[in-house]
Amino acid sequence: MLASDPRTAGIEFIPLVECFRMSEAEITEFETTIAPRLDVFIFQPVTALSLGERFSASQVIGHLRPGCQKIAFQYPHLELYTPFHNYPAAELGRAPFDYLDFEIVGQYLHGTRRADVAARLAERDLDDATVREIARWSIEELAAREHGDTGPVDIEITGIVRDRMEHEMLFHTINHPGLAVMAHVAESAIRLMDEAGHADASLAHPPLTDPFTDIHIPVHPAIQRVYGLSEDAEFLHKGQRVSQDEAIARTYDYLEGFDRELILASVDRLTAARPWFEAAL
């Protein structure tokens, strides 16, 4: 919505602190002063996780007034473009760049010298059948998240991702969608608000800038080859460029702080659901 449009004069947008960053005081303020006066609540149906049940979507929506319109969308997640980047097991703590490159992990476990890792990575490849299996798995995983334990969502992204993921870059990382996906979510939300009488659908304007310009992991070479995706974007983390040498060095430094069995356990956890991980090990 354009803030300069006079038709938005009666609309107040109240951004909230992300639930995983919320303090007890902030969740209390939401429950007692913000939730009871909302006409529309747009949210992601997160579970309690380690935060406690009070922070789960099922509890949070209980504080909304009866007439409040609830619009849920699952957090976007697609592993197709960077199929070997993922989170390490909790026992390993936070990875240097949030996501861990398990192709580098594989080289570490094989005892490859740091100076030789880049050359080994340059030789990496996946056959066409494996790439297409990763694509199939990725879209099924996204669909499962949208229809999982937290219940159906009001805005689905599976369709747009399925239709366009092989022809254009839709994600910066497995959890950071690009402009096309976020525009779909925003436009869908305004359409639903219009249907409920809370907004005019003509107020919808496609976002002009990508919401995630400070983080990006380059597409895996095999994915680029199979789908003809050309990309010259660099590895970005918190707005800073990361060279391959730096990624290798910091990943090795990180891994050297843990017992080998802990690292293997983290790999096994991911490999159990992602058979292509075996190609990195």
Reported pTM: 0.88
Could you give the CA distance from residue 205 to residue 199 in angstroms, rounded to a whole number? 13
Q: Are residues 103 and 179 in the same domain?
A: yes
pLDDT band at 30 (very low <50, low <70, confident <90, very high): very high
Residue 2's pLDDT is 53
* Same-domain status, 164 and 210: yes
Residues 201 and 232 in one domain: yes
- The per-residue pLDDT for 46 is 78
Instruction: Note whether 188 and 267 are same-domain residues.
Output: yes
Q: Which residue range is the domain that position 25 belongs to?
A: 1-72
* pLDDT value of position 200: 77
Per DSSP, the three-state class of 99 is strand
pLDDT score, position 1: 53
Tell me: do 49 and 97 sit in the same domain.
no
Query: Within this chain, do residues 89 and 177 fall inside the same structural domain, yes or no?
Result: yes
| Residue pLDDT, tens place only, 187-246 | 899 899 989 988 777 766 666 678 888 999 999 999 999 999 877 678 999 999 999 999
Q: In this structure, what token pair is assigned to residue 127?
A: 């056959």
Task: Check whether residue 159 and residue 31 sit in a common domain.
Answer: no
pLDDT at position 148 is 73
Last residue of a domain, one of 19, 39, 72: 72
Asked if residue 66 and residue 104 are part of one domain, the reply reads no
Say yes or no: 178 and 101 in one domain.
Answer: yes
Q: For residue 152, what are its two tokens? A: 């159906």
The CATH number of residue 14's host domain is 3.40.50.12080
Question: Of 49, 72, 95, which residue is a domain's last?
Answer: 72
pLDDT digits over 56-71, tens only? 888 889 999 999 999 9
